[in-house]
Amino acid sequence: MIKHVCVAARIGDGEAPGEANTSGIRKTSNEASADSGYNPLGLARVLAHGVVESPLLRMTKPQERIARFIMLGTPCERIIARKEGALGWMIFNNPAKHNAISMDMAEAVPAVMRGFEDDPDVRVIVVAGAGEKAFAAGSDISSFGAVRSDPQQNRHYDHVNELSYNAVYECGKPTIAMIRGYCIGGGLDFATSCDVRYCSDNAVFAVPAGKLGLGYGHEGILRFGRVMGLMRARDLFLSGRRLGAEESLRLGLVHRVIPLAELEAETTAYAQTIADNAPMTLAAIKRAFLEYEKDPALRDLNRAQAMIDACFRSADYVEGREAFAAKRKPQFKGE
């Protein structure tokens, strides 16, 4: 992925809760022109004089925050990638269709996730949707006639989508789904591929395959079974009914329900909490979970154990002990 534009933002004490101080948000790169109308997020709009207005920078309490993020090039303009410190963000950017996932969007996901995995500065990846109405309202059904009209096309379509879901699920770094509004069908496949799911109180979840007459891949059924159990997954698939945020929390589909206005701040704070931990330990934990969730005959527990052993030989292990003894915050370097 290629660096595209760096944005710096200051949100000051004088703001009303939930509002961005747009007068203090300035582009710091000359790589994008302020009057070009360039809109990389589908969440931010470029105003006159180089000011960027973005709902992603809203805070729920009057306070000051400096936010610096770097836009990254992606294979598809409807998939946005950005870095903010130790956090990588992958954003579905198709708000006109509630971020419905098209074939080219799905094809772009593996490259974005690979870029984050290869970047040592990124320690946690957040997956989100542009705007406040949807995480992703399923696949782009309007394109099915062109890409999913016969069994051969459908197998290719399913293969592309499974590669995209697995790129998230098999990522060696922690992943968090930040879910606003609709999270339907393929969008829910992406969410259940993440390690943790935070949702807004207006979130809606469903798998409407039965209402569309399409076949749903067994991989997706297993994905839901891992998260919420096969008994509850049966209800979700067979009924096609919609679940609200609170019911989804009770059923174990999400980890937390948060008021919409606070969702991004809470998700970012949680992601940073994870990012502050030792990277090698996080990688070993993820590998252990990934191996445990495989069929027993396919598990590579030696690989998981090798990563655990490496933690005890690391400089971070020394730093963690020294920081604990000195009662200070450890500074982990992933080595």
CATH code where residue 212 lies: 3.90.226.10
Q: State the pLDDT at residue 142.
A: 67
In a domain, residue 170? The reply is: yes
- Do 263 and 124 fall within a single domain? yes
Sign of the four-CA dihedral 316, 81, 127, 105: negative
Mean pLDDT of 263-272: 97
In a domain, residue 333? The reply is: no
- Residue 30 pLDDT > 60: no
Give me the count of residues in the chain: 335
Q: Which residue has the higher pLDDT, 239 or 46?
A: 239
In a domain, residue 334? The reply is: no
- Do 227 and 292 fall within a single domain? no
pLDDT tens track for 149-173: 677 777 887 889 899 999 999 999 9
In a domain, residue 189? The reply is: yes
| Structure confidence at residue 236 as a pLDDT band (50, 70, 90) | very high
Q: State the pLDDT at residue 180.
A: 97
In a domain, residue 335? The reply is: no
Rg (C-alpha) for the chain, rounded Å, is: 20
Q: State the pLDDT at residue 107.
A: 93
Token look-up 């598990």 returns 299
- Do 311 and 177 fall within a single domain? no
Q: State the pLDDT at residue 154.
A: 72
Q: State the pLDDT at residue 26.
A: 29
Beta bridge partners of 244: 204
pLDDT tens track for 78-91: 899 999 999 999 99
DSSP 127-194: EEESSSSEEEESB-GGGHHHHSSSHHHHHHHHHHHHHHHHHHHT-SS-EEEEE-SEEETHHHHHHHHS
Beta bridge partners of 84: 87
Nearest Cα to Cα of residue 299 among 289, 308, 309:
289
Distance CA 323, CA 251 (A): 39
DSSP 47-92: -GGGBEE-GGG--SSS--EEEEEEEE--SSTTEEEEEETTEEEEEE
Contacts of 335 (CB under 8 A, 6+ apart): 280, 314, 315, 316
SS3 104: helix
- Four-point Cα dihedral 136, 139, 142, 146, nearest 10: 150
What are φ and ψ of residue 87, in 5° steps?
-105, 135
In a domain, residue 116? The reply is: yes
- Do 14 and 2 fall within a single domain? yes
- Residue 184 pLDDT > 90: yes
pLDDT tens track for 130-155: 998 999 998 766 666 566 667 777 78
Q: Choose one of 26, 49, 69: the last residue of a domain.
A: 69
- Do 92 and 174 fall within a single domain? yes
Residue 174's domain spans which residues? 74-275
Nearest Cα to Cα of residue 6 among 50, 69, 76:
69
User: pTM value?
Assistant: 0.80
- Do 284 and 269 fall within a single domain? no
Q: State the pLDDT at residue 70.
A: 84
Q: State the pLDDT at residue 269.
A: 97
Q: Choose one of 275, 293, 317: the last residue of a domain.
A: 275
Q: State the pLDDT at residue 141.
A: 67
Distance CA 243, CA 233 (A): 12
- Do 40 and 85 fall within a single domain? no
- Do 10 and 40 fall within a single domain? yes
SS3 287: helix
- Residue 63 pLDDT > 50: no
In a domain, residue 65? The reply is: yes
The domain total for the chain is 3
Q: Which residue has the higher pLDDT, 156 or 49?
A: 156
In a domain, residue 332? The reply is: no
- Do 240 and 117 fall within a single domain? yes
- Do 120 and 205 fall within a single domain? yes
- Do 38 and 105 fall within a single domain? no
- Do 198 and 149 fall within a single domain? yes
Q: What is the DSSP letter of 16?
A: P
Q: Choose one of 39, 69, 99: the last residue of a domain.
A: 69
